[in-house]
Amino acid sequence: MRLRTLIAGLIGLALAGAGAFYALTIPRPAVRGPLPARTPDLANGETMFNIGGCPSCHATPKQKDQQRLGGGLALSTPFGTFKVPNISPDEKNGIGAWPEEAFVNAMLAGIGRDGEHLYPAFPYTSYQRMALDDVRDLFAFLRTLPAESRASEPHELPFPFNVRRGLGLWKLVYLDGKAFTPDAARSAELNRGAYLVEGPGHCAECHSPRGVLGGIVAARRFSGGPDPEGKGWVPNITPHSDGLAAWSAGDIAYLLKSGFTPDADSVGSTMADVVRNTAKLSDADRAAIATYVKSLPSLPGRKG
């Protein structure tokens, strides 16, 4: 009798645990159903495309046209290898057949077209700060680009990282679903810079250390950290002595346009890809980014 009671208790606990896991990991979309009709601003969509660095990851490797977004880049991480998908307007292999609300939920909530959790190698923890209309403009702009028929490849992830449902627990820690809110005490330029850096620009995703679960260490945000792909060290960009203390806002804006540092060196690796995109922004947006970066809390980092 005691054995039966014990077994029944264990089964009950297992069922309760499974139920709790299911409830806690349910994908929670940012929007439900079709969005109201509007006329998209394609110029703004292109700005979001450039500040978001979409071609840096989604352009098919080894081809010059940065608007051919057939995917295929392999991102090697401690959790496995992520294969960047096709986000061109191709209806079969890209996002051409996606309804607008599916794209919005991918960007703001990390949810795929079929309701599955997306892996945070896609930086939706930053994109969640974006304004809804900016995401909609980006979607409209993407649909003007060439359709690529290249099929997306599956990720190569070991257990348990290949269990997408578990990402629901990760999101409880790292995804709050809050859009950027301007600070009334700051200038319009500083607020614009904060929005671009924290939201579509997702600068913290590379320039911050990460914890054992792969999330950004909030207290060390922007202080630099290991390259997500294990290829060196991403520098501290706070105004600390081992960061950008000696740089002026003008120096930062010039780097974002030219790729050159104040001492006439040039950026390389993935930062060169970033500059390829930021060089297409307006002077005002580059200045706003620089102003915000100079306003960040000064944090010690490590020279890479």
pLDDT at 74 over 80: yes
20 exposure class (CB count in 10 Å sphere: 0-12, 13-18, 19+): exposed
Query: Could you give the CA distance from residue 205 to residue 174 in angstroms, rounded to a whole number?
Result: 12
Contacts of 44 (CB under 8 A, 6+ apart): 134, 137
- Mean of per-residue pLDDT scores for the chain: 90
More confident residue, 10 or 125: 125
pLDDT at 253 over 60: yes
Question: Are the CB atoms for 275 and 267 separated by under 8 Å?
Answer: yes
Q: Domains along the chain?
A: 42-174 (no CATH), 188-295 (1.10.760)
Q: Any idea which of 11-15, 78-82, 88-92 has the lowest mean pLDDT?
A: 11-15
Q: What pLDDT is recorded for position 12?
A: 64
Is the full-model pTM beyond 0.85?
Answer: yes
- Can you tell me the mean pLDDT for 271-289? 95
pLDDT at 18 over 60: no
Q: What pLDDT is recorded for position 264?
A: 78
Q: What pLDDT is recorded for position 229?
A: 61
- pLDDT confidence of 24, banded at 50, 70, 90? low
Q: What pLDDT is recorded for position 78?
A: 87
pLDDT at 17 over 80: no
Tokens of 171: 């999101």
